[in-house]
Amino acid sequence: MKRVVEKVQFIPKMPVLLNVAAYARVSSGKDAMLHSLEAQVRYYSEYIQSHHDWHFCGVYADEAMTGTKEDREQFQRLLERCRNGEIDLIITKSVSRFARNTVDSLTTVRKLKEKGVEVYFEKEQIYTLDSKGELLITIMSSLAQEESRSISENVTWGQRRRFAEGKISLPYNHFLGYRKGEDGLPEIVPKEAEIVRFIYRSFIDGQTIYAIAKSLTERKIPTPAGKEKWSQTTIESILTNEKYKGSALLQKRFTTDFLTKKKKVNEGEVPQYYIEESHEAIISPEEFEEVQSEMARRKKLGRKYSGSTIFSAKLVCGDCGSFFGSKVWHSTSKYRRVIWQCNNKFKGEHFCTTPHFYEDEIKIRFISAFAKFFQNKDMVIETCRMLIEELTDTSAIDAKIERLTMELNDLGSQIRVHIQKNAESELNQEEYNKVYDQLTEMFSEKKNAYQKLKQKRTQQQGRVEIMTAFIKGLEERTETIDYFDESVWKLTVEKVTIFHDGRMIFQFVDGTEIEV
pLDDT of 397 above 80:
yes
pLDDT band of residue 208 (cuts 50, 70, 90) is confident
Q: Measuring CA to CA, which residue among 404, 409, 411, 400 is closest to residue 441?
A: 411
Task: Determine the pLDDT at residue 239.
Answer: 92
Q: Is the pLDDT of residue 251 over 60?
A: no
CB 278 within 8 A of CB 166: yes
The whole-chain average pLDDT of the chain stands at: 78
Most confident of the following: 50-59, 126-135, 147-156, 178-187: 50-59
Q: pLDDT tens, 25-37?
A: 776 554 445 556 7
- Identify the CATH homologous superfamily for domain 172-304: Putative Large Serine Recombinase; Chain B, Domain 2 (3.90.1750.20)
User: Helix H segments across 165-284?
Assistant: 190-204, 209-218, 232-240
Q: What is the pLDDT of residues 348-364, one digit of tens each?
A: 677 889 999 998 899 99
Quick one: average pLDDT of 184-200? 90
Paired residues of 341 in beta bridges? 325
Residue 251: which of 162, 186, 326 has the closest Cα? 162
- Give yes or no for residue 381 having a pLDDT over 70: yes
Q: Answer whether residue 100 shows pLDDT above 60.
A: no
Q: Does residue 343 carry a pLDDT above 70?
A: yes
Q: Where are the beta strands (DSSP E) in 116-236?
A: 118-121, 126-127, 178-180, 186-188
| Cα radius of gyration (the chain) | 35
DSSP string, 364-420: HHHHHHHHHHHTTHHHHHHHHHHHHHHHH--HHHHHHHHHHHHHHHHHHHHHHHHHH
Going by pLDDT thresholds of 50, 70 and 90, the confidence category of residue 38 is confident
- Model confidence at 237: pLDDT above 50: yes
- 3.30.1360.30, 3.40.50.1390, 3.20.20.70, 3.40.50.150: CATH of 18-152: 3.40.50.1390
Measured N-to-C along each axis, helices 73-83 and 102-114 cross at an angle, to the nearest 10 degrees, of 30
DSSP three-state, residue 264? strand
Query: Between the ranges 127-131, 227-231, 244-248, where is the mean pLDDT highest?
Result: 227-231
- Cβ(504)–Cβ(516) under 8 Å? yes
d(CA 141, CA 96): 7
One-letter identity of residue 162: R
Q: Which residues have CB under 8 Å from 157's CB, separation 6+?
A: none
pLDDT of residue 371: 93
**Other residues' Cβ atoms within 10 Å of the Cβ of residue 345:** 20
Q: Where are the domains of the chain?
A: 18-152, 172-304, 325-515
Provide the pLDDT confidence category of residue 166 given band limits of 50, 70 and 90. Answer: very low
**Partners of 358 in beta bridges:** 339
The residues near 171 (Cβ < 8 Å, ≥ 6 apart) are none
Burial of 30 per CB tally in 10 Å (0-12, 13-18, 19+): exposed
How far is the CA of 205 from the CAs of 35, 173, 483, in angstroms? Answer: 55, 29, 20
Distance CA 178, CA 201 (A): 19
Nearest to 25 by CA among 94, 109, 83, 111: 94
Please give the residue that has the higher pLDDT: either 31 or 311.
311
Q: Which residues contact 191 (CB under 8 A, 6 or more apart)?
A: none
Burial zone of 40 (CB within 10 Å; 0-12 exposed, 13-18 middle, 19+ buried): buried
Task: Mean pLDDT check: name the lowest of 336-345, 376-385, 458-467.
Answer: 458-467
Q: Which CATH architecture has domain 325-515?
A: Orthogonal Bundle (1.10)
- 231 has a pLDDT exceeding 90: yes
Give the pLDDT confidence of 479-493 residue by residue, as tens digits.
888 888 887 888 888
What does the alpha-carbon distance between residue 449 and residue 409 come to, in Å, rounded to a whole number?
A: 14
Asked whether the predicted pLDDT for residue 271 surpasses 60, the reply is no
Buried b (16+ CB within 10 A) or exposed e, 141-163: beebbeebeeebeeeeeebbeeb
Lowest mean pLDDT among 270-279, 437-446, 450-459: 270-279
With beta carbons less than 8 A apart as the criterion, state whether 29 and 99 touch.
no
Question: What pLDDT shows up at residue 513?
Answer: 94
Between residues 465 and 447, which one has the greater pLDDT?
A: 447
Largest CA distance in the chain: 147
Q: Does the pLDDT at position 455 exceed 70?
A: yes
Per the confidence metrics, is the pTM higher than 0.75? no
Can you say whether residue 138 is alpha, beta or left, with left for phi > 0 and alpha for psi between -120 and 50 degrees? alpha
H helices of 219-250, in order, are 232-240
Beta pairing class for 493-498 and 315-317: parallel
C-alpha to C-alpha distance for 321 and 499, rounded to whole angstroms: 10
The residue among 506, 466, 206, 498 whose CA lies nearest residue 374 is 506
Q: By three-state DSSP, how is residue 338 classified?
A: strand
Handedness of CA 172, 175, 181, 186 (dihedral sign): negative
The answer to whether the beta carbons of residues 344 and 479 sit under 8 Å apart is no
Q: Write the CA distances from 97 to 26, 130, 136, integer angstroms.
A: 8, 20, 16
396 and 490 Cβ atoms separated by less than 8 Å: no
With residue 255 as reference, give the H or E element that holds it.
strand 253-255
